[in-house]
Amino acid sequence: MPEGPEIRIAADEVQSVLVRRPTTSVFFAFAHLKKYQKKFKGSRVRRIETRGKAMLTRFDNDLVIYSHNQLYGKWMTSTSGVRPETSRQLRLAIHNSKAAAFLYSASDIEVLKAADVDSHPFLARLGPDLLSQTPTVPALIKRMREKKFRNRQLSGLLLDQEFVAGLGNYLRAEILYFSAIHPTRRPADLDDAEIKRLSGNIIKLTLRSYKTRGVINPPTLVKRLKTQGLTTRAQNRFSVFQREGEPCYRCSDTITRMDSGGRHIFLCPQCQQ
């Protein structure tokens, strides 16, 4: 499943072709949404927000299209009159005179009134979005110390969208590695320096992934790895995620994998004691 940075990148692309241009037509694949198609004609997309792994396409007619990519959803854009070549099922299309945006394979799509967005059942329980709402380090520290979060293992907490919205499996592993914290520890176990470092890395690494389109390693490490012949993104993108059995870039210990909540998490046993 795409994580917050990938959803924000997709939102940027869709926004770049739709914003401020009059909409000529909107297509919904689902019968219960077709009644809204005519309501969007002539309206303009004001902006596209992300809330974790959901997107909100806000129009100037006070309507909002809510969509969640889930596992297989994918946005594509094209110039007007050109349909992307794909075998995926089209679920939503937004057209203007210059371009169009298409959402394929997703099934979680709704039309909301702007005033109802914050009370939407999924959106209402989300924590702060790391790319649209830009929470601060002190705010995350305070959140980690809340009663409902402080005694939970970080392996599970960092995937809980109620804690913060947008984190997924690769970000969880990399954030804990760069924070030198074992996945089974809890916020309640961390000293002030550790909890500050963890909060900072939640923000920093999510933003880095967004800016680099998925490269978590810092530029200095990427450069060093390239000089060693590790030139592809697959080789230099991560420090621990999906690197089981390979040496840690810091201490040369072997990266291992553990199961947590039915999903794999990768770590360095030496750096993350």
Residues catalogued as catalytic? 2-3, 53, 263
Instruction: Give the distance between the most distant pair of CA atoms in the chain.
Output: 61
Instruction: Give the Cα separation of 47 and 124 in Å (integer).
Output: 20
Distant-in-sequence, close-in-space partners of 118: CB < 8 Å, separation ≥ 6: 124
C-alpha dihedral sign at 195, 199, 200, 205: positive
Q: Find out whether 120 and 112 touch, Cβ atoms under 8 Å.
A: yes
How many Cα atoms sit within 13 Å of 210 on the Cβ side? 25
118: left (phi over 0), alpha (psi -120 to 50) or beta: alpha
- Phi and psi angles of residue 80, each rounded to the nearest 5 degrees, phi first: -55, 135
